[in-house]
Structures are given as structure tokens and as C-alpha cells.
A and B are shown apart, each in its own frame.
Chain A
Amino acid sequence: MHPFAYTRVSDTREALGAGRRGGRYIAGGTTLVDLMRETVERPETLVDISGLPLREVTATERGGLRIGALVRMAEAAAHPKVRALYPVISQALELSASAQLRNMATIGGNIMQRTRCTYFRDVTADCNKREPGSGCAALHGHNRSHAILGASDHCVATHPSDVAVAFAALEATVHLLGPDGERRVPFAGFLLRPGSTPNREQALQTGELIQAVEIPAHPRPLKSGYLKVRDRQSYEFALTSAAVALHLRGGVIREARVAAGGVGTVPWKLPAVEKHLVGERPSEALWAAAAAKAADGARPLQHNRFKVDLLSRTVERQLRIVGGTR
């Protein structure tokens, strides 16, 4: 680990000042400290923001939910409002990492976490995300766990977060605070596809701070849930996953929100699947037909061809779990 200066800030103004001077924010630190030890991350200054007042889950006036950036994963998952309104968020969080890591890691840090691509984590390997212009060792390397959607010739790494898949499905908004004040970014625009600049992962400006993630109000009752498919039953990243939220009235699906994880360079919203569901009545045939569109546009690599079918089946199963049949 490279040496670094450490400073603790007690209010957001102080944080933004330190951030503007190039300081790196640290919250739970579960990804950052790990990557610093591997010298993948080499911040000169760590700005400890854990004392900032961003630890609340609050209901919004419009009937949504605002989750503070420093709310721990464990706290967010167990929060009564989160459990009641958006089980998909609680489930995604509790299927992530381990109990210890969920006690440390925060919501803001979770969506900032970096890929688990082994070439990214290995400083001797070529990686455009870590060293722009060095190439992508995964493109023709061991790419079983890599992306089949949203990749480029420069990077095929997946985004590792589970809860980000739920946020994408629910069309959350990220609240940011910067030197020029507050701004809100739709979740779909917050995490960036690699394109030719895989080193740029979020739509953040220098020194900007995540304040909260806001889940908009959805028509109720909203049934939702998260399914994660992986090599181990627990404590493992997703090969594929599906976040599904459905609003049914009179036996008809009125609204559908679906996104997939483990398959894209960013959490992958599935508008074609959603569109296929709306206005229809739940049935086995409907789940299968909708899920068949989940892998539209997929471009598998040498070792992850299996993800194409696995993705459709994951979505189909989760539609059935959330929506039931008949």
C-alpha cells in the first residue's frame, strides 16, 4: 500500500474543500482499502466522510424513499420502510457480500465500487480501466464472469453491485453535492458504459459527493424481489441476477420494472421485457415470452456464452417468483 495522508471531515463544506483539492472520499472502505493494498488504487489523501450527516432513510413527500449515502448496507436492508416498500432492495443487499462487509460498506460506496475483473485487480496485467491505453487482457483471456452486454473493445468488465441493479430497475436518482451546489442524476446516467474511456465509471465531477439515492414513488401495491445466480450459494458475486418489480391491478400488470446484474458493464435495465409485460395477465407463457427478450443484443465472449441462456432463465424465474402464475 502506498503512503497516504488522512483527514477526517465533520461537515459537507469541509469535505467538498478537501475533495476539490484532490482528496479521495472514504466511507466504508471495503473496496478502497482492498484495492489500495493491491496498489490498484493509490490515493495521496483519504478524506474520511463517515462523520457526515448522511445516515438517514427518509420518506419523500411524493411517496418515495431517500437513502442517505452513508447508510450501511446492513442498516438499509433491515430498515422497515425499505423492507415494506421495496423488498427488492433489501434482498439485493442481503444477498451481497457477507454480514461483516454489510456492516461496514455504505450505500454510496456500494454504487461506487469497482469491478471484480481479475485483470483490473492484477497490476501486472493489461487493463484500460486501471491504465488507460494498456489494453484489455480479459477480452481474449479468462472472461467467464465478464459482460455480455454494454461492453466495448476497451473493456468487458461487469459492475459488481447487486443493489445497483435494484436501483436501476426502480429508476432511482442519485443526489450529488458539488462546489456548484446540488444536482440530481438519473441512475441510468450515473454509472457509465466503458466505451473508449473505461477508466471513467461514474458521471461525477471532481470533488462531488454522493448525498443520497432516491427511489421514486411507484404505484402500490408493488411486488418486488431480487434473484441472484452464482457459483456459490452465498458470499459470491453474481453470474446473473434479476431485479423485478410489478404493479398489478385487477389481475393485470400495470407497471413492470426489470433489470439484470452480472451481465452488463453497468446494471442492465430491460425495457423490452418491461414493455412485453405491461397490460398482460400473469401466465407461464407470458414470463417465458418476456424473459426471452432479456438477452437482446448480447455479445458473449469465448468463456461466457452460457450467460445468454442463464440470463433469460434468471429473469423468467424471478418474474414467476414475483408475479406468480394466474
Chain B
Amino acid sequence: MSTELSEAAAPPPAGTGESSPAPSRRTFIATSAAVGGAVVASGTFLASPEEATAAGSAPSSRVSLTVNGTRRTVTVDNRTSLLDLLREHLGLTGSKKGCNAGACGACTVLVDGHRVNSCLTLAVRLEGAEVTTVEGLAEGDRLHPLQQAFIDEDAFQCGYCTPGQIVSGVGCIQEGHTNSPEEIREWMSGNICRCGCYVKIVRAVEQTAGRK
């Protein structure tokens, strides 16, 4: 595979996205988020020296969107996916990067109320959009009924796919595709669980839908 000059000027860390900052910054964000949510919630775009270089060498755009009820205005490299914006810039690491190709569903979020793969969504295209991630489902300390159902039904093992499963399940319930276990399975097929917890995932979605 050929490497372009521009990519070399802004080397992404191995194993993460093309717009991901260096590992040191990941650690920094995680620490900040853990210590004081204010850093994350402020909406300030934190640029590391590496990123400042990246922004200077590759076309970037300014975009304003609402994430979990909070208005955010950020300047991003045009290549940045919504998933990377959430995880790397906004510190919302609930949405997971599984395949980064729209094949696993771990990155599922709601955009304007519809479930989508955030890994295939370019952040620059989201001007004015309303994004809801797994972090935005609970009301204060009260979990979303589907989150509670995942706990009650023990609907996960390793947990990596769980945020995507839950957000996708919320979308599935809103769409009304929950009339039978078979229908839930079909309409949840965009979310892969390598641990194989499908039986309990279907049960959690079914029970939550039934309570509505």
C-alpha cells in the first residue's frame, strides 16, 4: 500500500482511525475525562501539537452539531468520522470501533433519531445534526430501560459490542420492528456479538419493547 505525503505529515497511530491523534493524547483525554468531566463537556476543541500539524496540512472544516443535548462546534480534518470525533475529540468512548467499515455495528449512534454507523459518517457532514450516543440514553442516574434490561437479562459477556447493541436496540424499538424474536433478530442483524449473546440481547429488546 502506498503512503501519501499528506498522510506521512500527519501519521495516525497504528490500529486507530486516520484522524486519531497520538496515543499520548488518548491517555490525556481519558485522564481528563475521568478527573473532571468539565474538560469534556466544555465543547473546547483540544488540539495536540500533532493535530495542529494535521489541521494545517489537510483540508478541514468547521461544523456545529448537538451531541447528547450539548451544542458542539469543532474544526475537524475532513476525513474525521463521527466515531473518531466522538471518541478522540469529545471523549465519548462509549461508541466502539470494531471493524471501522460498517460491518459490525459497535459504533451505532442515533443521528436525528435514526440509528446509523458512526464509522461511515463523515463528521463534516453533520452541520446542525442531533447525535445521541450510548452516554446520552440515561436520564441522570436512571438508566434507559433497555440499558437496565441488558443488565437484568445478562445480555453481554465481554461488553465490547454492547453500546452499539443498546443504541441499535433503541432504534429498533422506535421503528417498531419488535413484534417477534425473529423480527428483532432480523432488524438487529447489523450488530455482531462475538460472544454470542444473541438470545439474551433479543430478550432484552423484546422485554423493553413490550413495556412501552
Contacts and interface: CB of A to CB of B under 8 A. Distances in A.
Interface in B47-95: 57-59, 61, 77-79, 81
A66 B177 CA distance: 26
- How many interface residues does chain B have, given as a range? 35 or more
A29 B175 CA distance: 22
B61 A6 contact: yes
Interface stretch (B34-42, B98-106, B142-150): B98-106
A303 interface: no
A4 B4 CA distance: 13
A98 B125 contact: no
B26 interface: no
Interface in A167-220: none
Contact of A99 (B78, B101, B187): B187
Interface in A22-81: 26, 29-30, 33-34, 36-37, 39, 46, 48, 50, 74
B120 interface: yes
The listed residue with most B CB atoms (<10 A of its CB), out of A2, A33, A46, A98, is A98
A100 B168 contact: yes
Contacts, number: 98
Interface stretch (B109-117, B155-163, B202-210): B109-117
Nearest to A38: B101
Given A8-B127, A50-B125, A99-B190, A3 B101 contact: no
Given A5-B78, A29-B122, A98 B190 contact: yes
B111 to A, nearest CB: 8
Interface in B122-168: 122, 124-125, 127, 168
Interface of A: 1-6, 8, 26, 29-30, 33-34, 36-37, 39, 46, 48, 50, 74, 97-101, 103-104, 123-124, 233-235
Given A30-B120, A100-B102, A103-B114, 17 more contacts: A3-B57, A3-B79, A4-B78, A29-B121, A30-B117, A33-B122, A34-B101, A37-B100, A50-B125, A100-B105, A100-B115, A100-B116, A100-B117, A104-B117, A234-B185, A234-B186, A235-B189
